[in-house]
Chain A
C-alpha cells in the first residue's frame, strides 16, 4: 500500500491552527505518510508536527465554506484546524482518519524513522536479561536462568529467558505452564537482597471447577520458600471474581494444596472499567463550564484516584509482606499481564532504590512491562477520546505511571528522575517514532524484527543531552524502603498529564527553573571551593618544604 493513496489533499494553504494558551497561527497544512505538519507562512518554521498515530479521534464541522477539524490526541491534547474549502476539509479529515488507524504495524512510523542523532549505546541491548540476572546471582544461588521458552513455545507472552528456582528443571516448567493461564508459569520478578525474599508472578492456576491440581506447580512455588517459612499469594482479583473464573477453567490456589501459602485477595480493576474511568476523567478535566462542586463530583465519579489507591495499596501490601513480614510472595490476577505487573513493578519502586534511578527505572520498564508481556499494542491502541468500544484498550500502564508519580510527589528527593520521564513514557507508549512499545510481547517483537528495523527508545533517552531533561535536581540517593501514604488526602490528580493542556504551566516552570538554579549554583560554588582548597594546600606544602631545609 502506498501512503499517497490515502492522502487525497497533501497540502492546504490558509489553515488556522488553534491551541489553548497559544495565539492562533495561520499557515500551510501538509500531510505526509506519518505526520500532520502546519507551518506558518511568515518564517516557514513548523508550528505543529503531529504524528498521525497520536491522533485518537477527529470531529469535523462546517460553517459555510469554512471547515473545522478538531483533533483529539492520545496525549489528551485537543487542537483545532480551520480549513477553507469544504472539499479540502473533507479530504484532510478522511486522510487523517485513514492514516491514524493503519492496521499494519509495519506501516507505523518507527519502521520509517531514521534518527538524526548518533547512537552511542544501542538501547536494544541496554537491558539484557543475563545482565539483570547477574545482579541477583551474586547474592543467591537459589535461582537460575531458563531458556525453556527460547522458541516462545512454552509461553507465547514470556521472553525467551526467564529466572526460575534452581531446583526446578525445564521439564517441570513445561508441565507447570500447562497449569497456568497463557502458559505463564511462576517466574522471579524481584529478589529482595536484604532478606532473600522474592516476588514471583504468574497467570492464574487453571484449577477449573473440579479443583485440578499440579504437583509441579506446588513444587515450584514451594521451592522458593526457606525451611519453615510461609509465603503469601496475592490475587489481584476479589474472591468472588476468582471463584467465577473457575467456571472458565481458571481459578486460584486452594489452601489445601498450598498449605504453606496464605492467599490475599485484592480488587484491582481491569480492562474497560479502567478505560471508562480514563474517559470520564479526561472529560471532566476538559470541561471548564461546571462549578467547583461539579468538578469534585466528576473527579470522584471518574474513579481514577480510587484505582490509583487500590493499585498502590496492593503494591504496598506486597512490599510489606516482603520487607516487614520476611515472606516471599506470588502475585497473579487472571492473565498476569496487567494488574500483576502494576503490583510487581510498584513494589520494586518502594523496596529497591535502584528502581528509583533513571537507569534502574528503565530496566524495570523493560523487565516488568515489555519482557513480561504487557500487551502494549492492544492496551494503548486508543486513548481517552476513542468512541469505538474495543475490548482490549486499557490505561493500565498510565495508571502505573500515575502511581509512580504519586510516590514521587511524596518523596520528591528520592528519585533520580523527574515527572518529565513519566510523561515521556506515557507519550511514547501511545505514539512514538521508536519501536520499543510496538507489539504485545517479545515473541511479536521478534517476528517484527524490531531490533533490526526500528530504533529503541532507550537509545534516544540515554543520550546525555536528553537525560538532563529527565533528571531530578533534588535527588539524593536514599537506600531505604519508602512507604507512601495511600490515604485519599495524599493522592492528587496528576496535573502534569491531565491538566497539561488546560492550564498554563508558566509559573510552575519558573519555579522548577529557580530550583535548578539554586542547586546548580551550589554545586558550582562547591567545585570552586574544592579547587581553591587544593591550590591552597599545595601552596602551603610548598611553603613548608621551602621552610624546612
Chain B
C-alpha cells in the first residue's frame, strides 16, 4: 500500500461507524459491541480510504478530534494566477471566467509558460557587436515557450506590441489573418445589405456561438417587438418608452390579456437557416485534411492532451493556439462538525504561511518504526535521499522492531497500545508488543530540561529502561520520546497451508496471492491520556469561576496501521 516500508498510517475516525450507531436506539446490541470489539482491518477495501500518513491529518481543537482531508470542508480565500501571481478578486471571476486575463499563456505543446519576445533576425547579430546598443526594436513580437522552444511563429502569430496580448490574440487567427467576429459581420451588413451570409468554412465556433445566441434570443422573445417584448438578457430599463408602456399595460389590462410579460415563448419557433442565424453545416469534405495528414505525418497531428486543452478541437499542430493560464485558489479548511477553522492561509498570494494551522502533528504522538537489527546498509551521503531497502522478511522467524513515540504536547501523556495477536488477512503473522503501556514526557525545551535535571533524574527509577528487548519494559527513553520493542513472526505465504474456512465461517479464498498481500501490516489501537488545562468560558458555574484553568483529564484514541515490510516468498 505504500511506496517504501516501513510506514505508519493513521485512521481518521470520520469513517468509523460505531459513533453513528450510538446515537439512536439500536435494535441490535450485539452489533454495537461487535463494532467496538472488531479490530481494524487494514486490508479491507474500505479502510483504504480512511488511512492517512500523519502529515495529511489536521486536528480540531474544539472537538478534540483528528480530521482528515475527507472530513473537512474547504472555503476559498483568494484566486490567483500561478504565472503572474496576481490576485484576482472573486467578482472578476463571474465576468471574466476562471482564467488569467493578463497575458499569461501556456504553450499548447508542452503546457509550459510562454514569454513574449522579439523575433531576432540574422541581421541583428551584426548589431550586437556594436557598442552600447540598447535597442528598442520594433520588430515583431511572438510568444516563446521556455521549455520546449515552441514559438508562436510556428502557427503564424506575430504581434506588433509586446503588451496587451489577449486583445491581439482574439483578433488574429492562426496564420495571421484577422478573425471574423460577430461585430464585423454586423458592420458589413450595415454597409452592404445584399451581402450573402458568411460561407460555412470561414465560420469558427466563436462566431457561430454568438450568432446562434442572438438568434435564439430573438426567437424566444417572439420577435414581435412592437408589443414591447424585451429581448432576454437586457435589463429592465426604466426610462425607455417601451418599458413605460409595458408597465402601464400591466396595470391597465390586468384581466384581459394577462399582461404581455407572461406571454412566454411563442408557439411557433423556427430553427436557424443560414450562417447569420448560427447554422453551420458539417464540413464533410475532408480531402484537404487528409492530404495534409499524409504530407505531415504523425508529428503534424495533435495529441490527446493537447487537444483537450484547446477551445476548438484541432487536428493539426498548426491549428493549436496558446491557452490562458487557469487560476488557482488558496483555500481554508473548516471542521464539518463544529465549524471551527482548522487551517487558514494568508491572504497575500506570495506568502506561503498560514494564519491558523492546527495540524495533527502537534497533537498526536509521532510513531516511527525501525528494525532492531537492520539488514540494509547505511546509505552514503551522495546517494541520499534514498531509503535503505530492507531485505524481505523470512517466514517463521521472529523479527524485532523498535517503535518510537514522540510526544508533541507540553504535558506528559500516558499511552496504551493494543494489537490483535494475529494480523487480519489471509496470511496472518503473530504480533507481540513487549510493553503496551507507558508514559512519555512532555515536549519541554532543552534548557528547561537541563535546568531541572536534578529533580528529574530520580523520577524514573522505578522503571528500568533496559537496552534490551524485555517483556514489560520499554526499550529506551528520551526527553520527549519513548521507544518499545515489537516482535513479529511472519507466516508462510503458501496458499496450500491455509485452513479451509476463515474464522467467520466463510470459504477461504484459495486463489493466488493478491497484490500487496505479502506486506506485513499491523493494526494498532493507540490511546493517550493526558491532563490539559482546560480554558473554560466565563459562563461556567461559580464553582469553577475562581480559577479559569482547571486541569481536566483528556483522552484520545485512534487506530493506526504499521507497515513493517514485505515477506519473502518461498
Q: Do A and B bind each other?
A: no
Interface residues of B (CB under 8 A from A): none
